[in-house]
Amino acid sequence: MGGPSRGGNAVLVAGTYLTVLAVLVLPVLLVMVEALRAGLGAAWRSLLDPDALSAIRLTLEVTLVAVIVNAFGGVMAAWLVTKYRFRGRAALVALIELPISVSPVIAGLVWLLLFGRQGWWGDWLDRHHIQIAFATPGILLATLFVTFPYVARTLMPLMEQQGREAEEAAFLLGAGFWRTLWRVTLPDARWALLSGILLTTARAIGEFGAVSVVSGHIPGLTETMPLHIETLYNGYQTVAAFAMAALLALIAMATVLLRSFLEHDFRKASS
């Protein structure tokens, strides 16, 4: 192994640290400093405000449902796409990955086109007093769209690699589909599944644009954590806004770290 010369390496390392510090570390540092500007107690109290607590609860509820639906759908789709060969497989994969390239604002807009007052089914819903847009169901739908591909996407390459011999053997030994999936396929793919679930969770908790479009922005009622941050920030409640932001940043960093450990373990296990 050659590697760069000593002087070149020093320049490279210095440049890297400088970039990482200025672009990536400084923002995170700022979140923490601003959150603790009035002390830990004030930050903590701001999180216990009824509207803040309601935002946290709504975020967790929506995230839980989104993770369950998209993990289940993702497992089904990954099984279908990796265990069988059929025409249109590539198109199906492209469709699954499509939401990644859709702007969050559009991910909210599409639901208004269906369920908003001027949407296709707006009148019908109005007559039957069912509220989807500007209420919790709309927030859930937007979150489902935004977090749609992650579990399927992390599972597919791994399950493709696994082939289908183990499943065929399990089946010959008399196991049915669900049993084979639960006992043979998923245990082998558990790190990828976990990694995908983590990614889904992080995206669901932090989603802003999509949810912002379909939420009524009513504090204490239809505000998720990121939306509540916007309300607080625009209302000049800086400490409270950054306290909530710090909470979300910590969740984000924990997710990144956990996934990097998972990947590390996975690489070690597969090599």
Partner 1 sequence: MVFCLRRRDGLPGLSISIAFTLVWIGLIVVLPLTALVLRPWQDGGAVMLRVLHDGRMYAALRVSFSCAALAALIDVPLGLLLAWALVRARLPGRRAVDALIDLPFALPTAVTGITLATLYGPTGWIGALLARAGIRVAYTPAGIVVALMFVGLPFIVRAVEPVLRGLPPELEEAGLLLGASPWQNFRRVILPPLLPPLVAGFSLAFARCIGEYGSVIFIAGNQPFHSEIAPLLIVVRLQEYDYEGATAIALILLLSALMCMTGVAALRRRVSRGLVARGAA
What are the angstrom distances between the C-alpha of 8 and each of 4, 5, 21, 58, 170? 6, 5, 20, 51, 56
Determine the interface stretch with partner 1 among 42-50, 153-161, 186-194, 223-231 (rule: CB under 8 A).
223-231
As measured in angstroms, the least distance from the Cβ of 225 to partner 1 is 8
In the region spanning residues 77 to 106, those forming contacts with partner 1, defined by CB under 8 A, are: 77, 79-80, 83-84, 92, 95-96, 98-99, 101-106
How many residues in the shown chain lie near partner 1 by CB under 8 A?
90
Binding flag, residue 169, partner 1 (CB under 8 A) = no
The window from 9-17, 49-57, 123-131, 187-195 that contacts partner 1 (CB under 8 A) reads 9-17
Nearest distance from C-beta of residue 101 to partner 1, angstroms = 4
182 lies in the site for partner 1, by CB under 8 A: no
To which H or E segment does residue 68 belong?
Answer: helix 50-83
How many angstroms separate the CA atoms of 183 and 245, rounded? 40
Told to check if 239 binds partner 1 by CB under 8 A, we report no
Distance CA 193, CA 189 (A): 6
Please compute, for residue 15, the number of CA atoms within 13 A of its CA located in the half-sphere on the CB side: 6
If the CB atoms of residues 196 and 206 are measured against partner 1, the closer one turns out to be: 206
DSSP string, 169-228: HHHHTT--HHHHIIIIIHHHTHHHHHHHHHHHHHHHHH--HHHHHHS---TTTS--HHHH
76 binds partner 1 (CB under 8 A): yes
- From the CB of 158, what's the least distance to partner 1, in Å? 15
73 belongs to the binding site for partner 1 (CB under 8 A): yes
Smallest gap, in angstroms, from Cβ of residue 41 to partner 1? 22
Measured distance CA(224)–CA(201) in Å, rounded: 14
- Report if residue 227 touches partner 1, rule: CB under 8 A: yes
- Which segment (25-33, 43-51, 155-163, 189-197) binds partner 1 by CB under 8 A? 25-33
CB of 139 to partner 1, least distance (A): 14
- State both tokens at 106: 């559009």
CA distances from 25 to 15, 37, 100 (A): 14, 18, 26
Q: Is 109 in the site for partner 1 (CB under 8 A)?
A: yes
Q: Which residues contact 31 (CB under 8 A, 6 or more apart)?
A: 242, 245, 246, 249
How far apart are the C-alpha atoms of 35 and 238, rounded to whole Å?
8
Interface with partner 1 (CB under 8 A), residue from 132, 155, 192, 213:
213
CA distance readout (Å), 194 to 152, 258, 261: 11, 10, 12
Position among 132, 155, 193, 205 found at the interface with partner 1 (CB under 8 A): 205
Q: Binding string, 243-262, against partner 1, x = CB under 8 A? A: --x--xx--xx-xxx-xx--
